[in-house]
């Protein structure tokens, strides 16, 4: 397991995102990093990962919920299926 974040739960959530094809971009100010979905244009999703969240467990669950609710990557697959 790679160490993406000082908190174990948040690091596991980031690892889950990376496994789905998301990319990590270094954050600024209070954000530790930004997670960007596989759709790499302006319409893609971005999720901030905070460096010191008040409740790390809740922040990790929210990250996973946001990652799972992103349908940007699936929109392209649906359009390709409709064209065939």
Phi, psi of 28 (to 5 degrees): -130, 155
- pLDDT at 77 exceeding the cut of 60: no
pLDDT digits (tens, 9 = 90+) for 4-41: 888 899 999 999 999 999 999 998 888 899 999 988 77
Pick from 78, 65, 84, 77: which is nearest to 16 by CA? 65
Q: In which element (H, E) is residue 83 found? A: helix 72-83
Q: pLDDT, tens digit, for every residue of 36-68?
A: 998 877 788 899 999 888 999 999 999 999 999
d(CA 68, CA 52): 23
pLDDT band of residue 81 (cuts 50, 70, 90) is: low
């Amino acid at each position: 397991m790679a160490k993406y974040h000082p908190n174990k739960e948040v690091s596991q959530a980031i690892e889950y995102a990376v496994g789905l094809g998301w990319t990590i971009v270094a954050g600024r100010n209070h954000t530790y990093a930004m997670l960007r979905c596989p759709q790499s244009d302006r319409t893609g999703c971005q999720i901030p990962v905070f460096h010191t969240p008040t409740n790390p467990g809740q922040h990790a669950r929210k990250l996973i919920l946001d990652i799972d609710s992103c349908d940007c990557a699936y929109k392209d697959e649906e359009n390709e299926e409709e064209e065939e």
